[in-house]
Structure 1
Amino acid sequence: MSYDGRVEVERAFIGAGCNRVVNNVSWGACDLVAFGAQNAVAIFCPKTAQILTTLPGHKASVNCTQWLPNSKFAFKAQQLEQHLLLSGDADGVIILWELSLADKKWRYVLQVPQPHEKGVTCINGIMVSQTDAIFASTSSDGTVCLWEVVFPSISGGDCKLSCLESLYVGSKPMVALSLAELPGNTGYLVLAMGGLDNKIHLYCGERTGKFVRACELKGHTDWLRSLDLSLPIWTNGEANSLLLVSSSQDRSIRIWKMALRNSPANSIRKEKISLASYIDGPVLVAGSSSYQISLESLLIGHDDWVYSVEWQPPTNSSIEGIACYQPQSILSASMDKTMMIWQPEKNTGIWVNVVTVGELSHCALGFYGGHWSPNGDSILAHGYGGSFHLWRNVGVDFDHWKPQKVPSGHFAVVTDIVWAKSGEYVLSVSHDQTTRISAPWVKEPGLENADSWCEIARPQVHGHDINCVTIIKGKGNDRFVSGAEEKVARVFEAPLSFLKTLNHASSQMSSFTEDMQVDVQILGANMSALGLSQKPIYLQAVHETPGSNGNEGLDTLETIPDAVPVELTEPPIEEQLAWHTLWPESHKLYGHGNELFSLCCNHEGKLVASSCKAQSTSVAEIWLWQVGSWKAVGRLQSHSLTVTQMEFSHDDKFLLAVSRDRHFSVFSIEQTGIDGVCYQLVTRQEAHKRIIWSCSWNPFGHEFATGSRDKTVKIWAIEKGSSVKQLMILPQFSSSVMALSWTGIDLQRNDGLLAVGMENGLIELWNVSVRRNEDGSIAVPGATAALSLRLDPLTCHVSAVNRLAWRNSEKKQDSRSMQLASCGADHCVRVFEVNFA
């Protein structure tokens, strides 16, 4: 294959979980959802269930996002060509972004000046006209700031931002905000805020600022968690009242009414006293108008803290003179694992719960927030496990809410990533204590859209943070070994339910044939009571009658819901992933003295090498394990500190290890007989000035690359099987080198592509050629390298890249595209499509 050095890269997949904070998610009028994933702002499209991009800019974890306009103001966004997005982080920084709808391009607009001194906890904004928005932000530093944003008149134009007010609210900070225009054309705004003092504080001000404290509403008996002001409610052709809904950790929801005094609505309610009669509360004065506030309703139904409440977005009104109609419908989300929709009954006006979703998901661990889609036909929750849950109303004559596909991913640092034996899927492990498998789900012929990637299994759910993983290459069933913050490595084997699911995902093109499936007697796995071991569910056990184990009626620790391993015929949703796609654990490997740090397997699939965190030579041993018998067949000593990465050469003759002690070691490995392994230290050499984080072999020979915290990558070659020579040093990088992966392009010219991942999240591709003489010895100069491509920061990670891995493609040699997987500290797993010119 001829190749002229030019490379193009496209995003194939981003997997990421949502930060576990309230107010983190916002659904925009442009029908895109924004959420914080560590210090990235991730954008996903609910229609395709794919994460489109991540926006780099924050140095700390993102706490909250807010679209301008959000779904509530979709009716004002008809002619808008640019939509704005605000994001606030744990350092108090707020960033403004711009999305151009015409070309779907993102632009970093500005960082809001005078940041908060502590983390931003909530941002809420309203559109006061087609091109003018006002937003408020609150922080744990006890301040609430109000800002005005004027949208740019042309694409790429400047946004005008001005500070209207900064309010100090005291030592008990506010955590919930809501803004609205007061009805009656007064030109006044009302700002509702609530927090740790259990009260709702109402401030009133003009559009130019000067917000003054108006009154406070008491009633809740615990921290306020969420507030939402409705749009003006129309009665008899005029807008004369607003509704405010509040939720709290006291498990209740309250609806408050703010009615313009001396308005018809107020006098009508005075005459007609019904069950929905209210208690007069304080009066809010705004300029020459005053508003009577009263408690309209108290909603009790959730069994745990109610983290969010939100009015259904308005629908365009058919009545002349009324721009939009505010539906009487509220969505609430709670830590009791449910979301509820509340509406008033037609006859009595009493608010009742009309829809409940989510109560069956024993894996969700509660919801941190719920959101309406702009047209009100879908509701989205984000949960404790970083997961999304989306329901859509598919009923025609009556409500029928059905779960929909959503993106998913890790919600903590992703530590390691590896491709399946034949490249059908990618397996990632994380400090969120899960192992996840992502794969492209092949569309049926004739359907539009390309194959869409999704998470298809969660083989390991564990009680420890997982640090490393390796897939056992070679024939037979899919197996992997993972190492966590414990001294044991665990071996897992693919059950039959997964192999059948993989067949559906790859449209029957899986390398695992029907004949091989006959040998697999394990259907799936069950979690043990303490969550530390996964027990197999055998095929024959499924056919036995339940209760035949003799333990019927015994209340033991083991009485947790049984997993039901299923053959998935379409991309799974969170409920299926979290419980029914576990793999059984077949072996535990004991030997290391500390928590495991790195693992690798040879290409033949017969040896696994493991290392652990170490401060001394005896603990820094590399253990070799025989695949199958799982006996320890070698203990390799060379390093004095943690071995950070290991890799076998492509002919399995050498094992390369790099360490925190700034040295690399090369061992010769030879298999003798069935169980025997002969190994010898070829060389140990100090290679860098700082920790060596990563290494990778040239697929065509005995050359390898090492990458270090000293921002350099060096290329080395083994000469005559006994010594190592440095071939070249790549130009210094902008940040510490954390990950390397070398793949072959052209065997004749010994050309390869070296992917370099850095601590700042950026990835570069380098074209590396190794020059040899006819006798096989290294020529002079031994290697040449040229930068092929710097990946666009919008497609890269936003914090350290932890691992890179090229797909082991079994495609023809002349294939002009390859896939590169990466994982990082920003909780993301990414797959790039790399096309050669």
Structure 2
Amino acid sequence: MGSKSDGVEAKVERVFIGAGCNRVVNNVSWGACDLVSFGAQNALAIFCPKIAQILTTLPGHKASVNCTYWLPNSKFAFKAKDMERHFLLSGDADGVIILWEFSTGDKKWRHVLQVPQPHKKGVTCITGILMSTKDAMFASSSSDGTVNIWDLVFPSSSEGDRKLSCVESLSIGPKTMVTLSLTELPGNSGHLVLAMGGLDNKIHLYCGQRSGKFVLACQLKEHTDWIRSLDFSFPVDGDGETCILLVSSSQDKGIRIWKITSRDVLANDNKSEISLISYIKGPVFYAGSSSYQISMESLLIGHEDWVYSVAWQPPLMSKENECYQPQSLLSASMDKTMMIWKPEKTTGIWINVVTVGELSHCALGFYGGHWNPSGDAILAHGYGGSFHLWKDVGVTSGDWKPQKVPSGHFAPVSDIVWAKGQEYVLSVSHDQTSRIFSPWAEKSSLDDLGNWHEIARPQVHGHDINCVTFIEGKGNHRFVSGADEKVSRVFEAPLSFLKTLNHAASLGSSFFDELKGDVQILGANMSALGLSQKPIYTQVAPETNDKNTNDGLDTLETIPEAVPVEFTEPPIEEQLSWHTLWPESHKLYGHGNELYSLCCDHKGKLVASSCKAQSASVAEIWLWQVGSWKSVGRLHSHSLTVTQMEFSRDDDFLLAVSRDRHFTVFSIKEHGPDEVSYELVTRQEAHKRIIWACSWNPFGHEFATGSRDKTVKVWGLENGSSVKLLLTLPPFKSSVTALSWMGISRQRNNGLLAVGMESGLIELWSLSHKSGDAATAACAVQFDPYMCHVSPVHRLKWKTPEKSKDSSGMQLASCGDDHCVRVFKVDLV
């Protein structure tokens, strides 16, 4: 080990996070601070709708996050103007609930506490009510058949302790409750009412006080299928009485509005009169000395599928500085639409006044809809882990337009790679898509890095995609991907993507002059099974008068719905999923099992592939010649799956590491078109457990290997014939799952090794090795856990800096099990 002074130190900034939303119903919450929270696997992600960027992810959950809830959320924004600290609750599939604190002043997050008495099974819903700026109550339901109610007192200062007490634990029985809503009853009774609904098709109302003692008040049995969403309004004035409204939605496709009115208990009331009133108007229930009448106000029919969520528009402040509850409802359904409902002024009949939605083939509907605090924007999250945001941009109102939102994968991200020209990163995932993320050079942005967005979805597949690599191509935009099938597929960038990239990166008109005449493919069409993507050609007009010259080609006339589009601003979800596909040009057959890893040499001419293997015959590495796509080699050395491969920077050697705990180095020589010779240089057992990762030194023939045994070893290839162990880094706290080596100075042969771990953490190590001297290593930086992944890191890739002496502003891309793609900026200090 060298001393710290031998190495370099580095400073790290977060540039970008891309992630999709977990596909569960109560996963999203819009806070009074105008930030949106959602679960991305076991990370709690926060995004800012104004800039359409994910700001951070919060580590803490060991299981997938099922639900999030802001205290205060957008519903209580009118009460929260003076609050300097906002709180966020998140519940996961293990039953754990965590409370977080967000300081609006310095924008810092703090893990406050884990709620005691976790549920025994997954949390299905969290709801809350802000009693004042100093205290709140919240309730949580779980598939273990319980509903817990908590009283939370906020501290007077940031250093103070929060007081949290469980005031009630209700045992509901075998039928799980999946939605809750909590409010204060009208009148100054100090009583609360908790509505819950779920798998028994009934709405259950429980009454109690802040001290607890919640008892079942009544049940509403009008719905004919599972209750999916409930929401109480704030007090509403009507007919000289104060009432609250409860809205419910169900899998029976209907929405019902219930009115709860306080009624004076007359001394001479007897049971027969009450039962008669109940029969006519609806049930009556008691809370303390008051009684309340429930009547069904309206039945709203308009959706064609399950209605997953309903929500009242948040209260607004009038010019007289008084709070009032707008009569406006938002519903979201699996029929791919969201609707806003309002009562007609003359008749009072509730009608649908706004409908927005996705009409694309691939969306499977919306899991939830949410208002922003001011009521002029609505957000849906969908089956594909995607967000959909509309804003009312009209001068008066009623002109709802789609807005940019963050996007990303909704399953583990298995591989990531920078484009040959370093303009963007391409990631592939078990959500069966590949996605391109790029900085978009916005004129209004002062940040030279630009805001990153997803600009294309080249492959939408029918299998989980495991690996990807870029190869030589026209304009250097061509890649090979491998999935849970035995075939590698080759994709080429169409003209529509190159034009979009030109807008994103502001590459200038010269970018196209080189491509003119080369790229005849405008875009791609998806097949019915989501496997092969057929090209759509630009209409070439041959010098002939025959009108049928285009027969046999897919033309724009024949497939109007799949028109490839050139985007001048970042595309939204519907455009990404339908208009940004790349055509598939070749398939590579040969492997006997699912593809596991791919790599390409630095010239982009030779591709190596491996598949999942339990025997030596299947664990062979295949070499493919780019262009002819002939198999030019089958390399035998491993007995189990080859987990990663990489060519040395001069392309003379291929390094492979495997589950069999060995690494192998092959010498590779190209003799001409389709002629490649290869020879096994060495095969060596390197670690005590599976080797997950490897990476070459860009300046020499040293390489690093990282293993499940929590070690990283640095090796030197001497005279092209033998390998010597140069250095073993101190043991890490977690299995090493990803490595990437970045060269800093060729003269001193030093560099930065990025190490990604199973815990999600990332460290940078400064390595140095001069000929004749011992190799030295020092930890340059440990990434802040709030910046890192919260699950295993699958791949790390450095962006090769431009050919200049200045190595500041290097960028590192990473991907992991937490559905996230991340980009970091690294500056040497």
- Which TM bucket (shorter chain)? over 0.9
Q: How does 1:247-646 map to 2 (within 5 A)?
A: 247-262=249-264, 280-319=281-320, 323-444=322-443, 451-473=450-472, 476-508=475-507, 512-540=511-539, 562-646=561-645
Q: Does the CA-based 8 Å contact 2:39-2:64 persist in structure 1?
A: yes
1:800 aligns with 2:811: no
Match of 2:805 in 1: 813
Q: For residue 426 of structure 1, report the CA deviation from its aligned partner.
A: 0.1
Counterpart Cα distance in 2 of 1:387 and 1:546: 42
Counterpart Cα distance in 2 of 1:10 and 1:795: 8
Q: For residue 531 of structure 1, report the CA deviation from its aligned partner.
A: 1.3
Q: Does the CA-based 8 Å contact 1:422-1:808 persist in structure 2?
A: no
Change in Cα spacing, 1:692 to 1:4, as seen in structure 2 (3 Å) is closer
Change in Cα spacing, 1:3 to 1:76, as seen in structure 2 (3 Å) is farther
Deviations 1:708-740 (A, max 9, x none): 000000000001110000001000000000000
Q: For residue 809 of structure 1, report the CA deviation from its aligned partner.
A: 2.4
Q: For residue 359 of structure 1, report the CA deviation from its aligned partner.
A: 4.4
Change in Cα spacing, 1:373 to 1:115, as seen in structure 2 (3 Å) is same
Range with bigger deviation, 161-170 or 802-811: 802-811
Deviations 1:755-793 (A, max 9, x none): 000000000000000121xxxxxx242x10000000000
Match of 1:190 in 2: 193
Change in Cα spacing, 1:560 to 1:59, as seen in structure 2 (3 Å) is farther
Counterpart Cα distance in 2 of 1:481 and 1:448: 33
1:831 aligns with 2:823: yes
Deviations 1:605-637 (A, max 9, x none): 110000000011110000000000000000000
Identity over aligned pairs, percent: 75
The match for 1:110 among 113, 136, 139 is 113
Counterpart Cα distance in 1 of 2:522 and 2:541: 8
The match for 2:137 among 125, 131, 134 is 134
Match of 1:268 in 2: none
Change in Cα spacing, 1:549 to 1:712, as seen in structure 2 (3 Å) is same
Counterpart Cα distance in 2 of 1:489 and 1:834: 34
Counterpart Cα distance in 1 of 2:70 and 2:590: 52
Q: For residue 446 of structure 1, report the CA deviation from its aligned partner.
A: 7.4
Counterpart Cα distance in 2 of 1:464 and 1:830: 24
The match for 2:243 among 225, 241, 244 is 241
Counterpart Cα distance in 1 of 2:510 and 2:594: 34
1:16 aligns with 2:19: yes
1:60 aligns with 2:60: no
Deviations 1:658-681 (A, max 9, x none): 000000000000001221001000
Match of 1:776 in 2: none
Counterpart Cα distance in 2 of 1:337 and 1:219: 25
Counterpart Cα distance in 2 of 1:828 and 1:216: 43
The match for 1:208 among 204, 208, 211 is 211
Q: For residue 397 of structure 1, report the CA deviation from its aligned partner.
A: 2.1
Deviations 1:517-558 (A, max 9, x none): 431000000001221110000001799999996999xxxxx9
Counterpart Cα distance in 1 of 2:99 and 2:589: 51
Q: For residue 197 of structure 1, report the CA deviation from its aligned partner.
A: 0.4
Range with bigger deviation, 589-598 or 500-509: 500-509
Q: For residue 801 of structure 1, report the CA deviation from its aligned partner.
A: 0.1
Deviations 1:779-836 (A, max 9, x none): 242x100000000000000000000000022252214110000000000000001011
Q: Does the CA-based 8 Å contact 1:499-1:512 persist in structure 2?
A: no
Counterpart Cα distance in 2 of 1:3 and 1:122: 53
1:784 aligns with 2:776: yes
Moved over 3 A (4+): 317-320, 445-450, 473-477, 509-513, 541-552, 558-562
The match for 1:179 among 174, 177, 182 is 182
Counterpart Cα distance in 2 of 1:183 and 1:722: 84
Q: Does the CA-based 8 Å contact 1:179-1:189 persist in structure 2?
A: yes
Change in Cα spacing, 1:476 to 1:354, as seen in structure 2 (3 Å) is closer
Q: For residue 361 of structure 1, report the CA deviation from its aligned partner.
A: 3.3
Partner letter of residue 611 of structure 1?
S
Deviations 1:70-93 (A, max 9, x none): 000001101111000000000000
Q: Does the CA-based 8 Å contact 2:154-2:163 persist in structure 1?
A: yes
Change in Cα spacing, 1:239 to 1:374, as seen in structure 2 (3 Å) is farther
Change in Cα spacing, 1:447 to 1:834, as seen in structure 2 (3 Å) is closer
User: Does the residue aligned with 1:482 lie in a helix, a strand or coil?
Assistant: strand
Change in Cα spacing, 1:811 to 1:591, as seen in structure 2 (3 Å) is same
Partner letter of residue 484 of structure 1?
A
Deviations 1:146-183 (A, max 9, x none): 00111121124221111110000111010000000111
Q: Does the CA-based 8 Å contact 1:468-1:482 persist in structure 2?
A: yes
Q: For residue 363 of structure 1, report the CA deviation from its aligned partner.
A: 2.9
Q: Does the CA-based 8 Å contact 1:95-1:110 persist in structure 2?
A: yes
User: Does the residue aligned with 1:204 lie in a helix, a strand or coil?
Assistant: strand
Partner letter of residue 829 of structure 1?
V
Partner letter of residue 135 of structure 2?
D
Q: For residue 563 of structure 1, report the CA deviation from its aligned partner.
A: 1.1
Counterpart Cα distance in 1 of 2:590 and 2:217: 68
User: Does the residue aligned with 1:604 lie in a helix, a strand or coil?
Assistant: coil
Partner letter of residue 403 of structure 1?
P
Q: Does the CA-based 8 Å contact 1:473-1:601 persist in structure 2?
A: no
Change in Cα spacing, 1:340 to 1:445, as seen in structure 2 (3 Å) is closer
Partner letter of residue 118 of structure 1?
K
Counterpart Cα distance in 1 of 2:509 and 2:101: 42
Q: Does the CA-based 8 Å contact 1:40-1:56 persist in structure 2?
A: yes
Q: For residue 472 of structure 1, report the CA deviation from its aligned partner.
A: 1.0
Aligned residues: CA RMSD:
2.3
Q: Does the CA-based 8 Å contact 2:612-2:640 persist in structure 1?
A: yes
The count of aligned residue pairs is 809
Unmatched segments (≥5 aa) in structure 2? 266-278
Deviations 1:263-283 (A, max 9, x none): 9xxxxxxxxxxxxxx961101
User: Does the residue aligned with 2:501 lie in a helix, a strand or coil?
Assistant: helix
Partner letter of residue 786 of structure 2?
L
1:748 aligns with 2:725: no
Counterpart Cα distance in 2 of 1:85 and 1:596: 41
The match for 1:153 among 153, 156, 164 is 156
Change in Cα spacing, 1:105 to 1:239, as seen in structure 2 (3 Å) is farther
Change in Cα spacing, 1:292 to 1:454, as seen in structure 2 (3 Å) is same
Match of 1:697 in 2: 696
Counterpart Cα distance in 2 of 1:742 and 1:355: 53
Q: Does the CA-based 8 Å contact 1:252-1:299 persist in structure 2?
A: yes
Q: For residue 289 of structure 1, report the CA deviation from its aligned partner.
A: 1.0
Counterpart Cα distance in 2 of 1:247 and 1:192: 13
Change in Cα spacing, 1:330 to 1:637, as seen in structure 2 (3 Å) is same
Counterpart Cα distance in 2 of 1:449 and 1:206: 55
Counterpart Cα distance in 2 of 1:752 and 1:670: 27
